[in-house]
Structure 1
Amino acid sequence: MSSTREKLISLLSNQSENFVSGQWLSSQLKISRTAVWKQIKQLEEDGYKFEAIQNKGYRLLVQPDKVSENTLYWGLDTKWLGKSLEHYPVLDSTQRLAMEKAQKGAEEGLVVVADKQTTGKGRRQHRWYSNHSGGVWLSFVLHPKMVPAKAPQLTLLTAIAVVQAMESATELKPMIKWPNDILIGDKKIAGILTEMQAEHDEIHYVVIGIGLNVNQTSNDLDHQIKHMATSLLIETEKTYHKQVIIQAILTHFETIYHDYLLNGFEPIRKQWLHYAYRLGDLIHYTINGEENRGILHGIANDGSLIIEDEQQQKQNLYSAEIKWFEGVENNES
């Protein structure tokens, strides 16, 4: 989105209850009144409706209920995340495109959003069923100044941002299943994928992907996952404006990420524990073919899962097959 369009949207948003003259907009944007008129017409093509009165100017009447670069920017209360934004009706994978753009030098804060993904993916190359316009599918680029070993912390703080965005929009009480899933009850509603390019002790870039089921009905969910997945609509019997959900996710992430950069991981770790799925429960897990069980004690500063085994010895799990749900096949974590 051009900087002129961003400024125009910001000006109109801040004055949405009043008429704004074309001359004033022209002066603020440093473009001609004809150019202002052309920008307004482009917004109208995107579904915005304005009242225009000679000698008074323009007043916003209707903001469209659709996801676009314009509607996402309108009302987005972030300083840098999403200020560069690309929206696509259909994309193979927001993660693939964001990784490609990051490799080519994309700035920090670039957000790629798609209404549908034809080949969405999750952690460990698992398929993510996202070829449906009812969900939120997005990826964004970061350039964190940290060592690669700390990258798993970004997944954990992203999970907090998604959960808090859901709480701000609903009365649901989501939980975080280590390391990257968001659950309602025992059903998955969102997932996070963190990928990076790094060498030695330097991260070149990180791309974080988020998939959240929003307005899907149970019939919309793929038959392979509908017994273990859910959506905001299924849980609340309400539909949601996806652009509002996206804005909430980006706003919460930017706030939490800023706190993380200032104060380190410990405040994030404490917040994560507040939402931790099955914290304090006995869980069964398998490492290298050996079955074990222990109490889920928490997470360490490196993002690993802390388990207290039957000998009351604590160990850190970085990867394991964990049986999270009774009567359900083991899920890799």
Structure 2
Amino acid sequence: MTCIFGCDIFEGNRKSILVSENKNMSRLRQEILRAFLETGDILSGEGLSKRFGVSRSSIWKHIQGLRDQGYQILSCPKLGYRLVVRPDGLLPAEIRAGLSTKIIGKEILHFKEISSTNDLGLKLARQGYPEGTLIIAECQSCGRGRLGRSWISPEGGIYLSLILRPQASPDLVPFLILLAGVAVAKGIRKILNLPLLLKWPNDLLINGKKVSGILTEMEAELDKVNFTVVGIGINVNVRADQLPERPDYPAISLMVEMGREVDRRPLLQEILLAIEDGYLEFKAGNYTSILEAYRELDGILGKKAKIKTLQGVIEGEAEGIEKDGALRLRLSNGRVKRIRSGEVIL
């Protein structure tokens, strides 16, 4: 079964071909880029040719390919090539440079544009892609949020999905939602020092405005999760006029809040590292530490709230989350209601 907490991408062989092309680009081009990032100095065409076992003309072709992607690479006569300017892209080599994770980002697939990273993540998970596979896109044409809502995904944001294979029972999956939210919050707080808080179950707010959301989907048996796909969308360098207009639930981007563009690479790396830290706690059965981390960032604790559920709207005061991740709501009659799924409106 497929469970969702919270348009097809490619058809038939075309999907497999595009994923294969994305992986193979080029592996060589990504390795050349990684060599530039690691050395920070001039690299000779002859040296690159010997290092990767290809002709110098092939090296030149991939250098041109990197230039086409926005990398400014100078040709230094009789010396080689020097990387002088990097675009604000999230290519695999850029992400891996300095990333110290062991699980998350084991495989990275990057797309300039895709309909939905989660849709592709589900398909690749069924094909057996390994745990930690990261699918990332510069923009999405059909991004999805919880409850069937669309997620507006223009260029400049961070839109990613992670394939996880937790070997856990389905009732523990809510902890993955919580740890993902905590990881995004920690990453943004550490890199940008913004007062970001969590709104149960999966939204992240800055001064009451939504900056990020999480969609977790899984396929499972009755007693075992086969895999989960954790989708994360963050409004990073998104202009105010590109944000969705919902008077009852305003959105914001990190760029709008900071008054400047944000370097997405270190932010993404910090978030991925925080996800891995939380996921290792999850795999070790340390659910209490995940709950404690969430409670420290709980943005609705003690506030009056309306909860939209399938059964209707419930009003009360949020008293935090319980040990299974459910929201504890104090009703006007003094009774306590446990909410397992719903949308909080403050």
Q: Which bin holds the TM-score, normalised by the shorter protein?
A: 0.7 to 0.9
C-alpha displacement of 1:205: 0.9
The 8 Å contact of residues 176 and 276 in structure 1, kept in 2 or not, is answered as yes
2:211 aligns with: 189
2:66 aligns with: 43
CA, structure 1 residues 104+133, in 2 after alignment: closer, same or farther (shift >3 Å)?
same
C-alpha displacement of 1:247: 2.9
Aligned residue for 2:113, secondary structure, equals strand
1:293 aligns with: 316
C-alpha displacement of 1:174: 0.5
1:177 aligns with: 199
1:265 counterpart letter in structure 2: Y
- When structure 1 is superposed on structure 2, of 21-30 and 200-209 the one drifting more is 21-30
Task: Say whether residues 1:144 and 2:166 are aligned partners.
Answer: yes
- When structure 1 is superposed on structure 2, of 38-47 and 146-155 the one drifting more is 38-47
C-alpha displacement of 1:180: 0.4
d(CA) in 2 for partners of 1:96, 1:127:
13
2:256 aligns with: 234
d(CA) in 1 for partners of 2:113, 2:332:
50
- When structure 1 is superposed on structure 2, of 141-150 and 304-313 the one drifting more is 304-313
CA, structure 1 residues 55+254, in 2 after alignment: closer, same or farther (shift >3 Å)?
farther
Aligned residue for 1:90, secondary structure, equals coil
- 2:176 paired residue among 154, 171, 178: 154
The 8 Å contact of residues 198 and 298 in structure 2, kept in 1 or not, is answered as yes
How many residues align? The count is 321
d(CA) in 2 for partners of 1:46, 1:195:
32
1:15 aligns with: 39
**1:267-306 counterparts in 2 under 5 A?**
267-285=289-307, 288-289=311-312, 291-294=314-317, 296-306=318-328
Give the aligned CA root-mean-square deviation in angstroms: 2.9
d(CA) in 2 for partners of 1:312, 1:123:
30
Structure 2: stretches of 5+ with no match in the other structure = 1-22
The 8 Å contact of residues 34 and 97 in structure 2, kept in 1 or not, is answered as yes
**1:190-209 counterparts in 2 under 5 A?**
190-209=212-231
Task: Say whether residues 1:167 and 2:210 are aligned partners.
Answer: no
C-alpha displacement of 1:230: 1.0
d(CA) in 1 for partners of 2:205, 2:280:
25
1:105 aligns with: 128
TM-score where L is the length of structure 2: 0.80
C-alpha displacement of 1:128: 1.8
The 8 Å contact of residues 31 and 93 in structure 2, kept in 1 or not, is answered as no
d(CA) in 2 for partners of 1:261, 1:173:
29
The 8 Å contact of residues 92 and 120 in structure 1, kept in 2 or not, is answered as yes
d(CA) in 2 for partners of 1:104, 1:40:
33
2:282 aligns with: 260
C-alpha displacement of 1:202: 1.3
Greater than 6 Å deviation, 4+ residue runs: none
TM-score where L is the length of structure 1: 0.83
d(CA) in 2 for partners of 1:192, 1:289:
23
- When structure 1 is superposed on structure 2, of 184-193 and 38-47 the one drifting more is 38-47
The 8 Å contact of residues 218 and 226 in structure 1, kept in 2 or not, is answered as no
CA, structure 1 residues 271+142, in 2 after alignment: closer, same or farther (shift >3 Å)?
same
1:65 aligns with: 88
CA, structure 1 residues 49+291, in 2 after alignment: closer, same or farther (shift >3 Å)?
closer
d(CA) in 2 for partners of 1:79, 1:24:
30
CA, structure 1 residues 301+29, in 2 after alignment: closer, same or farther (shift >3 Å)?
farther
C-alpha displacement of 1:190: 0.7
C-alpha displacement of 1:110: 1.9
C-alpha displacement of 1:248: 3.0
C-alpha displacement of 1:150: 0.4
CA, structure 1 residues 5+203, in 2 after alignment: closer, same or farther (shift >3 Å)?
farther
2:4 aligns with: none
CA, structure 1 residues 110+291, in 2 after alignment: closer, same or farther (shift >3 Å)?
closer
Task: Say whether residues 1:85 and 2:108 are aligned partners.
Answer: yes
1:216 counterpart letter in structure 2: V
- When structure 1 is superposed on structure 2, of 244-253 and 211-220 the one drifting more is 244-253
1:97 counterpart letter in structure 2: L
